[in-house]
Structure 1
Amino acid sequence: MSLRAIQEALKLQGSIKKDKTTGKYYFIVDIGRDELTGKRRQKKKRGFTTKKEAEKALAVVLNELNLGTFIEPQLIDLDSFIKEWFVERQTQLAKSTLKNHQCLYRNHLKPKLDHYKLQDLNPIVLQKFTNSLVADSSLSHNSIRKLLFLMNHLMKKAHGLRLISENPLIHVNIPREVKSEMTIWDLKQVSYYIAYAKQNRYYTIVLVLMALLTGMRKGEILGLRWRDIDFEKRVIYIRQIYDGYAKELKVGAKTASGVRSIHILGMLVIY
């Protein structure tokens, strides 16, 4: 569709003009009325070398207005946006998860991306950022996955608020996870660990054995109560955890898969 056809179909006023000072072209187009004030709004873009370039750019804006996909650029920096986003997430996430996300942002996202405006975080910028994470030998694949998960949620929110036209991460190649073989301690290593743990003033043989023999997480062990243990059947039921960040007990486990029962060995029951 030609520029004139788009203008006639939309009944919008768009014009191309030449800046007498710079000799370059620019366009002005009506983008509707402000919903709050009712005043007419216009978009202006400068810096086109030729009139044809300005016409093409104007045609894109008019077409987006027609499709309802036009988003008026708002120069919001990533740091300001994510701080507001974290305030919102306080009511949606556990305190420990929120602190973890804030730590990821502060240590990895902020140093490399906080000088960008949201609208400048295009697929090229985010692909380079992703590549830099992969090249960082200090980061595990799990840490990289968490960082990209956090960034993806952030971009989805910005898109939902119509601050950006799309989530740029959908065009970024995410590295595949290279699964490593799990290393399991042998009896000699377990004995060495117990001997070393005895040197700590907080050492408790039951807690150490429970961690070694059941695979329970620290929060699960600290949240354990006598009524969660069936000594006759030799079963431990994970019914609550202790959240170290929030300093409180929480019903349930950290994840859905964490809600489980664990069969325990006789030696643990004896202790």
Structure 2
Amino acid sequence: MKRTSALLAAPALALGALALAAGPAQAQGTTGSDSGSWTYQTQLKQLNNSTASGSVWITVQGNQATVTENVTGLPASFNGQAYPHVQHIHIGAMGMCPDASADKNGDGVVSVTEGAPHYGKIAQTLTTSGDFSPASATDLKLAPSGGTINYKRTITLSDETLAALKANTASVVVHGLDPATLSATAQKEKSDIVPSLPLAATSPALCGELRLSQMGSMPNGAPETGVKPAAAAQTTATDATPGLFAAAGGVLVAGAAAFGLNRRRAARKAQD
């Protein structure tokens, strides 16, 4: 694919605009000392002609969350290198995944800016190691990579994230599309976040709405994926793709003003 080199040339995917600069709101009745264990889960939905599928389970004890994700069918590589798929827990909007109607410009792709009013801003980054805050939203060296992702990691949730989980307004979004699957129009377009990147680089491939699970724990093998949970977090992108990120000069995070997502929260009522 001719357009793949443009993706790999970029040091970081420009999705950090979703990590808005607003200070975290304290969750009502939610603290790190809360007792009990709760599991939230989602079946990830395909977006933008993605061929991927998978599941995410998040077991919460106090403010500690063990995130287990099993995904298959993502774009695996570009130019022989593993494709990093940045992914996040999103909050602060409707707690919903967009459908095709969110494509306002008619190019056949629900872009980051078109999807964000549905799933909201970045609250936690699902990294393979190190930082898991919005500050690492676009760090490719910490992003799970490849076409099949078996991810398991325990992270600390913010009060704001805990509140969104309890209110059924949190979602998981996995980014990164195969440009060849897009319409002819979309293949020619640049990212709506950073024009130097192709649209495929920053657009969502999967989205899932996190809801309280009726099961007490993660089953042995995620539903509908056939992928067994990994025993540990996936190998970091730097280990899997030596030299790919050598030129990365740090995380590229766009300012909140550039994205303009000051939108009123419209949280839905919980529906089990």
Structure number having the greater strand percentage: 2
Structure having the larger proportion of residues in helix: 1
Same fold (TM over 0.5): no
Which structure has the bigger radius of gyration?
1
TM-score normalised per structure 1:
0.22
TM-score scaled to structure 2, two decimals?
0.22
Higher RCO, 1 vs 2 (CA within 8 Å, ≥6 residues apart): 2
